Structure 1
């Protein structure tokens, strides 16, 4: 007999979990604590499996049946619903991680850069940023966490690389904001947090011949 909303609402708790079946592998499991959990029992390539379809009443009877229709369609297409769910969750997690967003941003823009520039940029991210921020959901990353990573670069004496890494992180965060995966760019809070790079001043040219040569080179420059 098919389930009804009334039967589900009135299902009493018992000392042990028990099941109320709706048919086609769909049932609701009633637990001693009062929780009611939708389950789908199926076989895939001869192996019996179960798939969670939500918790009642958040998932009502009609919605549970709609979910059942979807997963049974997957089975008819020779897709294991449980495996597909794990793959979808992993993909969603990757798409919202810092590394996932960074690689997506890099892929969309690298054709605008020289090969040498893009190679240095992705190596910088892979070596100095991804190992610490890569798996984090990008919307949860805050300025102190970024600064901690940049300090590692600074501590090894690569101050210029630290500034470039901060710039790259900012570009990734702004892309995440534009694509709806972050609310703001936290690197803007790091202004002045990293010491400026040392500027090397070249000696002034005083020899008239050298000045003339420099001016001729400037005049002939076509870059």
Structure 2
């Protein structure tokens, strides 16, 4: 696993071919990206803080994340054909994980198969690049990273607004309950006062001569 010098955006590149891995790393570094390269889908999951449960095929978030999790991943670019876990499998794992599903994923392949391309795009891949990847291809990934960066503050603002609205609703409900109780007490007091104010009927005395 190799990480280049610090840059603004961080890309995780996944490819079992050393030559292709070095090529994509060089292109990304030339484009001023910070790059981490791994040679398998399982190592990519580990870097993202996921582990596969042996009893089930679904990934679970690791309870003891490594120091790598302090490094935010802004985009994942992965080869399609890899031994063990394919790029399509890795794509599915990422999109099935709530904490990672918004990370853009780009698939690379040396085979131009429309059915494969459509399958990956339908599963949530942003792009499907044919190898060898060119600099013009990488110019197309920046909008996806920028879009995710712009969405994050909006999501945070929505959460804050929802929390504020919840507090506002609870605060408006409390006075209404107090007013109801106060109204009931006033009604009871009024009834008591009216009862006390009722004139008492005295028996009339009859004087006989």
Normalised TM-score (structure 1): 0.25
Q: Considering only CA atoms, is the larger Rg found in Structure 1 or Structure 2? A: 2
